[in-house]
Chains A and B, each alone.
Chain A
Amino acid sequence: MTPGILLSIAFAGALLTYLLGKLSSRARDYCAVIISLIVVGSTTVIYGKSLEQILPFKFLGLPLALRTNMLAWFFAITIAVVGALSIIFSLSYIKGRERTNLYYFLILLVNASMLGIVLSGDLLSFYIFWEIMSWSTFLLISYNRGSALSAGMKYIIMSLAGSAAYLIAALSIYAKCGTLIISSLSTMLKTASSGYTLFILILGFITFGIKNAVLPFHTWLPDAHSEAPSPFSAVLSGILIKMGTYGLLLFLYVLVGLKTFVDLKCGILSVQSFLCWLGAITIVIPTFIALLQDDAKRLLAWHSIGQVGYIILGIGFGTGLSVAGGIFHVMNHATFKALLFLSIGAVEYRTGGVRDLNSLGGLMKKMPITFIGALVGAFGIIGIPLTNGFVSKWLIYKALISNGAPFLAFAALIGTWGTLLSFYKFIHNIFLGQLPEKYKDIKKAPVSMKLPILIYAAIIVLFGILPGIPLKVINIIVNSFGLDSLQVSLWGIGSETGALNTINICAVILVATIVAWLVFRMAHRSVPLSQEDSYAAGAAIPKDKYHHTVDFYNPLYRMIGPYLKDVIDQFYYWIARRVEMLCDGIRHVYTGDVGNYVAYIVLFVALLITAQIWWQPW
């Protein structure tokens, strides 16, 4: 199995699915699932291979190459798994809607192009796949029409700005080095002057920062994530924005190299500390904005930005532990965020599109599997021990504290508290509290939705207890960047100044839970009561009268709400309005009427003649 064959399967599969959909929707559904599973299987097969493949044809006279190594494989397997699970989830979610053929075609195309990005061996094919991804994503974001159209438009405009920056970087690299093949560039660019390196990194940062939704390029994300269909939100938040992370890793550690990156300075500000602080700000502000959201998917979307902050912080900090933590967090965020989006997708599916946190409640007993999924996902994103999120965050904190960066660590830790608060609200307002009368007859989620939810939950817990499985792969990646390797065992990390042992933690939590449970069981049996039958100091609580979930953090909202406005978004809109006004002004001149243009020409000629008569310059 070579990367070429893998990509051919992925792209041909997307087309085949579309064509089959013209004949029968049932066959199309099967086809989409089978194709995505084949992609998962063939990605697994290329594990551990490290090869480069020059393609037999050229584009614009430039050779195209594909390659695979541990870094590419790590991203590829995450893409393949997230994509496959989202497609399985889509089976019932998207059923009966219009343009389903297009939906399946596009989601498979996005997956294939993302695989193309991580498997491409030169900057040109990277760009081609990047553009395929951007455009098919645009179509999927605006799939729901209505307000989704403007969300998609916002996305594609920012994305195009990023692509332009990338194109400038790639062209300038070609002009300087005469090749775009990554493996030969990685030796050439390491000797480039620091000014040139900075130029390339800034352009790369704009491109990948926009896709990765780092502050101040985040503004497309909250709209896009909340408007897209939920299974695609899972792909979008889980792995698509991580293509920016991949690009950043590629530019920072593969092309420019660790040593040049760490030494790079712009005036007194070092690029590394700039990246770290940007990561820290990206953690704190979006997390607290998320806390104040009332739309479940918007809340998750803001958290995507916050979690990206951890990744940027880990990668930017540039020690073995922190980079490992950052890369591990890429995968972890993909699992728990996809899980959370799928859970809210299931709720949305059963309640008829309701995702307003102020009107849901009490669904725990009606949708138990979805509840377990959401709970495990929430535990993962908060980073409670025994979930994978804990391990990656631990690595990042540990690196920050032991290398003397407590303020960055503070930003990361306080972000965790913001996450705890908003995910308690998420769980409480959807699944706990009282069940509103209108949801009394709600059904459980269908099997095709439960299955991905359970798989994600299992992955989160498995990698939380045995983090050594992914960390072994990550260790190889970190080594290939020239960073110190970690002492990874199956259940933790050893180091001189403090180790992590997840098996011990798991064992004691299990034992303590069993002890507490035994004490609980041995005591008097409790009488089950309905939720309506609760204590209210002698007064009865009328049904459906009070909604306990509305304005859950109102005192906090009153305090910090005024400070947490998305100023950057407003600024972009201000620019957009100015550009619009300018263009309107120009439109008064360029009316599109031939008569006016003729008049302009006549006037201009008259001007020339007058000038000639008066001053005789010619």
Chain B
Amino acid sequence: MVTTILQSILSVLSALVIGLFFMGLFRIIMARIHWRYGPPLVQPVIDIIKLFFQRSVSHGIMFDLGLILSLAGSMVIILFMPFGNGCWCPLSGSGGLLVILYIMLLMPFGIALSGGAGGNPNVSIGISRKLILSLGYEVPFLLIVLAVMTRYKSISLVEIVRYQQDLQWGLFSWPLCLPGIAYFLILPAMLGIRPFDVASAPQEISSGPMAEYGGKYLAFVHIEHAFGLSITIALFVNLFLGGADNILFLFIKMLVVFVLGLFVHAVFPRFRVEQAIKYLWKWPTALAFVGLVVTLLVK
């Protein structure tokens, strides 16, 4: 019991640290690509601490609660995710990957409820775009996850990691390489980075869902963003790169995936939401679909 609680706290904290590190790294790498010097690595942490001491405005109870719900949802997912060696997964026996899929709904939904209560037109536009985009990437994403679950005949992420460590990494095994590539193609959309940053789009709609947030609200959104980065990339590593024996290896694998994703972000302009959906429902979906069919046939 005590070890479970300790593991839970440790995995949540490490996910937060990894996420914040990625956010810092993100800004440095982007700056170097732009021929700038960039902020220090710990800038996101400094920002969050600063934001907690700033004044903020609230638009009512739902405005607060939605945000809290969203952050709680992201912390809960971490507990379902194997963080190194498969043993740092305190809730592996409570519903598996299906629960992760479902609690992943809570993150955008919580923000959407909170933002909606604000009554700002930019927020409404941003949320509408975010939800449409999520429908866009969810189609290939579900096919990918189903292909993996069908291949290993399990809905438990811990078992999926174990199979890969015994046999071969998913990304380098036939036919799972197809959904693996598809996952990488939709990763920018899931992370909400360019070319898929329609939802926040700072130059068009004042950062969309975040327009009304200031002070601790913005700090919460940043923390949640850090968690979101960790979750999405850790899920990719666990599904296709064989998880990891300990948190260090997990971190290295995640770093590689993240930096590759960043290069995509750096060179692309922004899609419109229709263009984004058209892209997401074309190549990644086709790859994931073929992958799932082949998985069914070769089993």
A523 to chain B: which residues have CB within 8 Å? 52-53, 215-216, 219
A527 to chain B: which residues have CB within 8 Å? 55-58
Contact B135 A418 (CB under 8 A): yes
Check: A12 CB closer than 8 A to any chain B CB.
Answer: no
A434 to chain B: which residues have CB within 8 Å? 119
Contact A385 B57 (CB under 8 A): no
For residue A84, give the distance in angstroms from its CB to the closest CB of chain B.
31
A548 to chain B: which residues have CB within 8 Å? 119-121, 124-125
A397 to chain B: which residues have CB within 8 Å? 98
Contact A427 B116 (CB under 8 A): yes
Check: B177 CB closer than 8 A to any chain A CB.
Answer: no
Whether A382 contacts B75 in the complex (CB less than 8 A), given A498-B154, A501-B94, A546-B121, comes out as: no
Per the 8 Å Cβ criterion, residues 150-167 of B in contact with A are 150, 153-156
Per the 8 Å Cβ criterion, residues 56-101 of B in contact with A are 56-60, 62, 64, 67-69, 71-73, 75-76, 79, 91, 93-96, 98-99, 101
Contact B105 A420 (CB under 8 A): yes
Contact with B along A381-420 (1 / 0, CB 8 A): 0111100001000100110011010110110011011101
Check: A24 CB closer than 8 A to any chain B CB.
Answer: no
Contact B128 A508 (CB under 8 A): no
Task: Name the residue of chain B whose CB is nearest to the CB of A493.
Answer: B95
B38-46, B141-149, B245-253, B254-262: which lies at the interface: B141-149
Contact with A along B150-189 (1 / 0, CB 8 A): 1001111000000000000000000000000000000000
Contact A558 B217 (CB under 8 A): no
For residue A409, give the distance in angstroms from its CB to the closest CB of chain B.
6
Check: A38 CB closer than 8 A to any chain B CB.
Answer: no
A137-145, A447-455, A534-542, A586-594: which lies at the interface: A534-542
B20-28, B106-114, B229-237: which lies at the interface: B106-114
Partner of B132, one of A504, A549, A553: A553
Check: B47 CB closer than 8 A to any chain A CB.
Answer: no
Whether A364 contacts B60 in the complex (CB less than 8 A), given A499-B93, A535-B211, comes out as: yes
Cα distance A97–B280 when bound, in Å? 52
A526 to chain B: which residues have CB within 8 Å? 55-58, 64, 215-217
Cα distance A492–B95 when bound, in Å? 9
Task: Name the residue of chain A whose CB is nearest to the CB of B56.
Answer: A526
Contact B206 A537 (CB under 8 A): yes
Contact A512 B216 (CB under 8 A): no
Cα distance A410–B155 when bound, in Å? 14
Whether A512 contacts B72 in the complex (CB less than 8 A), given A404-B150, A424-B112, comes out as: yes
Whether A549 contacts B95 in the complex (CB less than 8 A), given A424-B112, A512-B76, A526-B57, comes out as: no
For residue B135, give the distance in angstroms from its CB to the closest CB of chain A.
5
Contact B131 A424 (CB under 8 A): yes
Contact A406 B146 (CB under 8 A): yes
Contact B219 A432 (CB under 8 A): no
Cα distance A421–B105 when bound, in Å? 10
B109 to chain A: which residues have CB within 8 Å? 382, 384, 420, 424
Q: How many residues of chain A are within 8 Å of chain B by beta carbon?
A: 75
Contact with B along A519-560 (1 / 0, CB 8 A): 110011011111111111100010000101100111110110
Task: Name the residue of chain A whose CB is nearest to the CB of B273.
Answer: A555
Cα distance A279–B125 when bound, in Å? 34
Q: Which of A384, A409, A523, A552 has the most CB of B within 10 A?
A: A523
Cα distance A44–B273 when bound, in Å? 53
Partner of A513, one of B59, B72, B273: B72
Whether A512 contacts B128 in the complex (CB less than 8 A), given A402-B153, A410-B146, A528-B57, comes out as: no
Task: Name the residue of chain B whose CB is nearest to the CB of A546.
Answer: B121
Contact B124 A549 (CB under 8 A): yes
Contact A364 B62 (CB under 8 A): yes
Contact with B along A178-207 (1 / 0, CB 8 A): 000000000000000000000000000000
Cα distance A530–B98 when bound, in Å? 39
Cα distance A548–B211 when bound, in Å? 15
Partner of A410, one of B142, B215, B219: B142
Contact A497 B146 (CB under 8 A): no
Whether A413 contacts B57 in the complex (CB less than 8 A), given A385-B102, A534-B118, A548-B124, comes out as: no
A418 to chain B: which residues have CB within 8 Å? 135
Whether A559 contacts B277 in the complex (CB less than 8 A), given A516-B68, A531-B119, A548-B121, comes out as: yes
Task: Name the residue of chain A whose CB is nearest to the CB of B91.
Answer: A504
A509 to chain B: which residues have CB within 8 Å? 72-73, 76
Check: B244 CB closer than 8 A to any chain A CB.
Answer: no
For residue A555, give the distance in angstroms from its CB to the closest CB of chain B.
5
Per the 8 Å Cβ criterion, residues 569-595 of A in contact with B are none
Contact with A along B30-52 (1 / 0, CB 8 A): 00000000000000000000001
Check: A500 CB closer than 8 A to any chain B CB.
Answer: yes
Contact A390 B206 (CB under 8 A): no
A413 to chain B: which residues have CB within 8 Å? 101, 142, 146
For residue B159, give the distance in angstroms from its CB to the closest CB of chain A.
8
Cα distance A505–B80 when bound, in Å? 10
Check: A428 CB closer than 8 A to any chain B CB.
Answer: yes
Whether A401 contacts B122 in the complex (CB less than 8 A), given A500-B95, A513-B72, comes out as: no
Contact B119 A433 (CB under 8 A): yes
For residue A336, give the distance in angstroms from its CB to the closest CB of chain B.
15
Whether A534 contacts B120 in the complex (CB less than 8 A), given A424-B109, A501-B93, A520-B220, comes out as: yes
Check: A517 CB closer than 8 A to any chain B CB.
Answer: yes
Cα distance A509–B62 when bound, in Å? 18
Contact A433 B69 (CB under 8 A): no
Per the 8 Å Cβ criterion, residues 486-515 of A in contact with B are 492, 497-501, 504-505, 508-509, 512-513, 515
Query: What are 6 A-B interface contacts by the 8 Å CB criterion?
Result: A434-B119, A498-B155, A505-B95, A516-B68, A529-B58, A546-B121
Q: What 10 new A-B contacts, CB under 8 Å, besides A433-B116, A523-B216?
A: A384-B106, A401-B98, A410-B146, A432-B119, A492-B94, A505-B94, A516-B72, A523-B52, A523-B219, A531-B59
Interface residues of A (CB under 8 A from B): 362, 364-365, 375, 382-385, 390, 394, 397-398, 401-402, 404, 406-407, 409-410, 413-414, 416-418, 420-421, 424, 427-428, 432-435, 492, 497-501, 504-505, 508-509, 512-513, 515-517, 519-520, 523-524, 526-537, 541, 546, 548-549, 552-556, 558-559
